[in-house]
A and B are shown apart, each in its own frame.
Chain A
Amino acid sequence: MRRRSRLVRLAKALELPDDIVLDLPRITMLGNQQLLIENHRGIIEYTSSCIKINLNQGCLCIRGEKLTLGQLQKEQILIEGMVGELKYDT
């Protein structure tokens, strides 16, 4: 924890992006049609109405309709469909 806060301070001082220094996921949303999650740790659950993705900070739960996985790679996941709700389960 102390190491983490030290890292935060260092990142702020050197103006480095937090997602690189702290290994945080980057989540980009395009309206409610597309959701791009970078730096994930795999999929926990996938149905057309709910997707649970494993992240460093815990689990990201996406609820919506007609959810599909447009692109699936080691670094990123692209979710397409009607995204209704985005929730962190830490």
Chain B
Amino acid sequence: MTHKISSYINGAVRIKIQGENQERFINLCIAKQMQLWGVRKLEDCLFMWLSLHDFFRIRDAVRKAKVKVLVVESYGLPFFLKRLKRRKILLYGAIVFFIAIYILSGYIWFVDVVGLKNIPREKINLMIESSGLRVGGRQEEIDTKNLEKEILLSVPEVAWVGIHFTGTRAVVEIVEKVTAESEDKSPGDLIAGKAGTITECINILGESKVKIGDKVQAGDVLIKGIGKNNEMIRAKGIVKASVQYESFGEALLEETQYNLTDRSKFGIKLNFCGQIITLNRVDLADFSAYEHEVIMKSVPWWRNRDFVVETIIDVYRELEVDTIVIDEIEAKKIATREALTENKLQIPPDAYVIAQNLTMIDTEDPNLIRVKLMIETEELIGMYNQYNKE
């Protein structure tokens, strides 16, 4: 590695040696403490690398060995600099490029405002733009601390604000204040959201219309929003009821499955101005079952205006038919799982399951297992409606 670096810094040349006494030339070079590498013989010519410094010392050895030397390749910093001297514009271009990069990196090219939820973006954008934080502005001219203070004081919804620069990007981070949600105090009744049997009824505000053990239907009034002096109020209370959910699940004892094999066939057709020309016909005699996919390829519309040409590729993939046989216990498990999944979609997450009952249902099909799953839960069924004046 160090040899590579030093040879790059000092420069190296690859020379071609022609003549009788090539070995003598090598020995003379070695005797002069020169370092040679990549020595290779190709068609009576010897190629080798040596450092630029050593190259200027081989004159004696060349004369003594009576060989001809030709430089075929050069490598390293001295040669790069020499080339650069000849291509001055390139050098100036590079200098101008770096100066431009340096100057332009002092400007703001992107402004990001993050963390906004309820505050309108335009409001913040307007404020920061008026303070000079805009695309094209200079980074050093912006007093970020003052701007942070200004935003904090003029927008009351802001809890914290931080402005920082990452390269040419200005990031304005805003954390909004969390305000408590205002409670709806408009008058209303507490009504049943689902049908069930009342198991608990705690009346806080309003007039209770149900008691424990009552059967209610969805939409029945549970607590009436009416005050002591017959004024309209918002009913409040906790009403729990036992609710029944039922669902069905099915599973087959014998199931047919189609699996893809690795064999496929392709049919190619050409649609030329509405005329279908078959280029490759497919023989599907040896495929017992297959799936068919049609791929249409056409050239872009601007190339396909006068003559409509498109390729239609029919892909036929062979399918293997597998019959999976499962026992009755396993089928029952699958059916139960299906029924349970269906039930879980209806049951709210805070509901408490009281009972669960699974019954088998006789079917005419001996291959089919069907189950009925009944789940009884205790849950809050109250929900509000607009006040209904009776």
Contact = CB atoms under 8 A, between A and B. Distances in A.
Contacts of B33: 74
A46 B31 CA distance: 17
B35 interface: yes
B312 interface: no
A46 B22 contact: yes
B23 A72 contact: no
Nearest to B3: A71
Contacts, number: 51
Interface string B1-36: 000000000000000000000110011011101011
A74 B36 contact: no
Contact of A69 (B27, B31, B39, B42): B39
Contacts of A46: 22-23, 26, 39, 41, 46
A27 to B, nearest CB: 18
A89 B329 CA distance: 87
B27 A42 contact: yes
Nearest to B36: A72
B30 A42 contact: yes
B38 interface: yes
Given A46-B22, A47-B41, A48-B41, A69 B36 contact: yes
Interface in A50-90: 68-74
A42 B21 CA distance: 13
Contacts of A48: 40-42
Which secondary structure dominates where chain A touches chain B?
strand
B37 interface: yes
A20 interface: no
Nearest to B40: A68
Nearest to A47: B41
B27 A43 contact: yes
Contact of A73 (B35, B40, B46): B35
Contacts of B27: 42-43
B41 A72 contact: no
A45 interface: yes
A44 interface: yes
A72 B40 contact: no
A73 B22 CA distance: 16
A69 B29 CA distance: 14
B225 to A, nearest CB: 94
Given A43-B26, A46-B22, A46-B26, A72 B31 contact: no
A39 to B, nearest CB: 13
A72 B22 contact: no
A56 B350 CA distance: 95
Contacts of B48: 69, 72
Interface in B182-221: none
B151 to A, nearest CB: 67
Nearest to A68: B40
B37 A70 contact: yes
Given A42-B30, A46-B41, A48-B41, A71 B35 contact: yes
User: Top 10 nearest A-B pairs by Cβ distance?
Assistant: A69-B39, A72-B36, A42-B27, A68-B40, A43-B23, A48-B41, A71-B37, A43-B26, A74-B30, A73-B35
